[in-house]
Amino acid sequence: MPGRSRWWTVPGNFARDQARLESAAADLAKRFGVQVSVLSADLATPEGMRSVEDRLAADPAIDTLVNNAGAALFGPLSAADPDQLEWLITLNLTSATRLAAAAAKAFSGRGSGTIVNVSSALALNILPVGAVYSGTKAYVIAFSQALAQEFAGSGVRVQVLVPGALETAIWDGSGIELDQVPKEAVMAPRDAARAGLAGLDAGELVTIPSLPEHATWEAYENARQELIPGLSLSRPAGRYAR
């Protein structure tokens, strides 16, 4: 968008591939007449996270963070490699938290800015082979809801995008091949991104691109709110009396 800066974190290998990033930047500059700068970072490492945090802190032109870096691993927890699980948690959870914190600090100081965190439909559709992936993505939803409360009325906007299966490289090495997913359940990334922007413009905190009616999410959220009065009381519920 001419005259405005955007900061995007992008998934997996793409974010670490300087040549691909530069090619994409050149294409954006040519097509839209914008200036695009590139920062390649491995967000599964402390050094990579710090490089983006420093950029967010130093550049007042950045007014939007899209926390889209992530990966997926599917399979039974009992057979998982602990090092791979730690890597997945670091990329999906730790990096998203640290980058959002850096953006929150910068944006709150100006009283404006937008933080978009990308979750997944598997945060809500829990599968037996996706315990860690679903856990990290459920965190992203709760984290975003808390941020939205923190920044209410401050000029800083928060959104969490909850896409279903997307036609991206996230499936490579995940334990599930994309062709195993029904075609009618797979969305093009461009369509999901456009839906996300439309939801942001509509003021949605939670945007689920393929959900036919936003009221369905609102009903789900209202049901959660009904739990709150009974979540912390001085006595156990009567059914647990012994």
Q: How far apart are CA 214 and CA 234, in angstroms?
A: 36
Residue with tokens 């992530």: 70
Tell me whether residue 95 is in a domain.
yes
In a domain, 64, yes or no: no
Examine residue 63 and state whether it is found in any structural domain, yes or no.
no
CA angle (56, 68, 162) in 5-degree steps = 130
pTM of the complete model: 0.89
* CATH number (domain holding residue 222): 3.40.50.720
Q: Is residue 92 part of a domain?
A: yes
CA-CA distances (angstroms) from residue 170 to 10, 223, 226? 11, 32, 36
Please state the φ and ψ torsions of residue 21, each to the nearest 5 degrees. -65, -45
- Number of domains, the chain: 1
In a domain, 44, yes or no: no
- Which domain does 83 fall in, by range? 72-240
Which of 44, 40, 48 is closest to 89 using CA atoms? 44
Q: Is residue 94 part of a domain?
A: yes
Does 218 reside within a domain?
A: yes
Under a CB-based contact definition with an 8 Å cutoff, are residues 134 and 123 in contact?
yes
19 inside domain? no
Q: Which residue has the tokens 């082979």?
A: 129
Reading the chain (242 residues) residue by residue, the pLDDT tens digits are: 233 333 333 344 444 578 888 998 999 899 999 889 889 999 999 999 999 999 999 999 999 999 998 899 999 999 999 999 999 999 999 999 999 999 999 999 999 999 999 999 999 999 999 999 999 999 999 999 999 999 999 999 999 999 988 888 888 888 888 888 889 988 999 999 999 999 999 999 999 999 999 999 999 999 999 999 999 999 999 999 88
The dihedral over CA atoms of 135, 160, 199, 191, expressed in degrees to the nearest 10, equals -60
- 77 Cβ contact list (under 8 Å, min separation 6): 131, 132
